[in-house]
């Protein structure tokens, strides 16, 4: 049995992934909680489907008898993993997802031992967050194995999807996270800024609680990790203003209003943007004892398009048995050159 289940298949990214999986010759089983949307997507593609909530254990028990891998695309993942991952472990079914949420990586890693005993892969973060940055971290660590500090930054131009904006809005009031001396440390939102040279230009970047703060530690063993993204001065000022209102921002009412605004205003990058935009990723590893450092830049296709490629390639490899048992990052499972196996990806060491 090498069939797999895409949960959240009718979301913006779930659809891109489903379409790409079909183009790759797969016939995934589709799932999600909205009956009309799952049925429509499955029927137009001639695929089997299930309608189920993330916490409907009885239905998951049926689905998980039918497939050997779950690719979870239903986020914010903090709302879906706590039910889905234990069910996958119980049934001995591999679990992959496209999360970028640190708390989700943390929860899934906490299931490592039991998943290892079951002989299954737990691999969150097989999308843009974290495949390219994880591979870049592994490349830098390979060049400078004694590195003690890692900085990563990225700059895209295509915009974000509704699900990404919703996931970010849920955690803004929690501020940022950095890894310091091996520990995850909470810092204020937009805590640090720095200029990063991407492609031809220097760009203003701000620190963000990106998945690599969690994952790159497992991939490289580096104990100090910060991640940044390109930002305009206007957005930086808004984020800093938002810090003052964080107590209000986490109230149910404000969260509800934010969600309504996001749902009505954000659609996700257009097909043209997905086909034409690129993302620049920069990384630097430093050994604080010797002062030695190594820097590199990775250029990739647009992030949502890339997510569909990296997610399905990860599924393919796990189904072929190329994985470690238990929790792992993409670069731990597939190596530092994984990202270089995709078209139009370029890596340059400075």
Ligand X SMILES: NC(=O)c1ccc[n+]([C@@H]2O[C@H](COP(=O)([O-])OP(=O)(O)OC[C@H]3O[C@@H](n4cnc5c(N)ncnc54)[C@H](OP(=O)(O)O)[C@@H]3O)[C@@H](O)[C@H]2O)c1
Work out how close the CB of 88 gets to ligand X at its nearest, in angstroms, rounded to a whole number.
15
For the bound state, the minimum distance from the C-beta of residue 161 to ligand X, rounded and expressed in Å, comes to 3
Encode 121-136: b = buried (16+ Cβ within 10 Å), e = exposed.
bbbbbbbbbbbbbbbb
Strand partners of residue 177: 186
Which of 42, 54, 137, 285 touches ligand X by CB under 6 A?
54
330 binds ligand X (CB under 6 A): no
Nearer to ligand X by Cβ, of 155 and 161: the residue is 161
Q: Which residue has the tokens 């849920």?
A: 170
For the beta carbon of residue 224, count every other beta carbon within 10 angstroms. Answer: 19
Question: Contact 217/223 with Cβ under 8 angstroms?
Answer: yes
Q: Within positions 115 to 144, which residues make up the interface with ligand X, using CB under 6 A?
A: 127-129
- Which one among 13, 111, 300, 328 touches ligand X, defined by CB under 6 A? 13
CA distance 29 to 235: 40
Q: Is 302 exposed, middle or buried (0-12, 13-18, 19+ CB in 10 A)?
A: buried
Residue 163 or 283: which CB sits closer to ligand X? 163
- Binding to ligand X (CB under 6 A) within 191-250 occurs at none
Q: How far is CA 253 from CA 167, 171, 250, 256, in A?
A: 17, 15, 8, 5
Nearest CA to 129 among 47, 229, 40, 2? 229
Shortest reach from residue 110's CB to ligand X, in Å: 20
The answer to whether 221 and 200 are in contact (CB under 8 A) is no
Q: Rule CB under 6 A: which of 264-323 touch ligand X?
A: 268, 303-304, 307
Under the binding rule (CB under 6 A), the answer on residue 158 touching ligand X is no
Contact region for ligand X (CB under 6 A) — 42-50, 71-79, 140-148, 282-290? 71-79
Examine residue 75 and tell whether it contacts ligand X (CB under 6 A). Answer: yes
- Check residue 10 for interaction with ligand X (CB under 6 A): yes
Angle at CA of residue 130, ends 302 and 259, nearest 5°: 75
Least separation, in Å, of the C-beta of 29 and ligand X? 15
Q: Whole-number minimum distance, CB 72 to ligand X, in Å? A: 9
Give the residue nearest to ligand X (CB): 163
Interface contacts to ligand X, rule CB under 6 A? 8, 10-14, 32-34, 54, 73-77, 79-80, 98, 100, 127-129, 161-164, 167, 268, 303-304, 307
């Amino acid at each position: 049995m090498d069939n797999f289940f895409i949960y959240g298949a009718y979301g913006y990214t779930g659809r891109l992934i489903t379409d790409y999986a079909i183009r790759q010759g797969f016939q995934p089983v589709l799932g999600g909680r909205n009956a009309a949307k799952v049925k429509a997507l499955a029927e137009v593609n001639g695929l089997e489907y299930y309608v189920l909530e993330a916490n409907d254990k009885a239905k998951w028990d049926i689905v998980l008898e039918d497939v050997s891998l779950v690719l979870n695309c239903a986020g914010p993942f903090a709302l879906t993993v706590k039910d889905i991952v234990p069910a996958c472990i119980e049934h001995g079914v591999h679990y992959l997802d496209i999360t970028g949420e640190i708390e989700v990586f943390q929860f899934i890693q906490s299931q490592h031992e039991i998943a290892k005993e079951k002989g299954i892969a737990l691999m969150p973060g097989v999308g843009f967050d974290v495949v390219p940055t994880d591979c870049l971290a592994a490349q830098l660590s390979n060049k400078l194995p004694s590195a003690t500090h890692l900085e990563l930054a990225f700059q895209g131009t295509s915009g974000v999807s509704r699900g990404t904006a919703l996931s970010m809005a849920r955690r803004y009031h929690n501020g940022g996270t950095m890894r310091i001396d091996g520990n995850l440390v909470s810092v204020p939102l937009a805590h640090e800024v720095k200029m990063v040279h991407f492609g031809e230009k220097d760009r203003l970047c701000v620190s963000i609680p990106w998945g690599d703060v969690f994952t790159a530690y497992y991939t490289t063993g580096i104990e100090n990790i910060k991640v940044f993204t390109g930002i305009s001065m206007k957005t930086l000022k808004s984020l800093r203003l938002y810090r003052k209102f964080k107590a209000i921002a986490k109230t149910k009412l404000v969260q509800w209003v934010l969600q309504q605004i996001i749902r009505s205003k954000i659609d996700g990058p257009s097909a043209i943007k997905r086909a034409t935009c690129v993302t620049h990723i920069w990384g630097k590893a430093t050994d604080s004892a010797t002062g030695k450092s190594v820097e590199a830049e990775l250029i990739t296709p647009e992030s949502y398009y890339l997510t569909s490629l990296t997610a399905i390639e990860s599924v393919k490899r796990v189904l072929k048995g190329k994985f470690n048992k238990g929790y792992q990052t993409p670069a731990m499972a597939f190596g530092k050159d994984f990202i270089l196996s995709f078209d139009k990806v370029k890596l340059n060491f400075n």
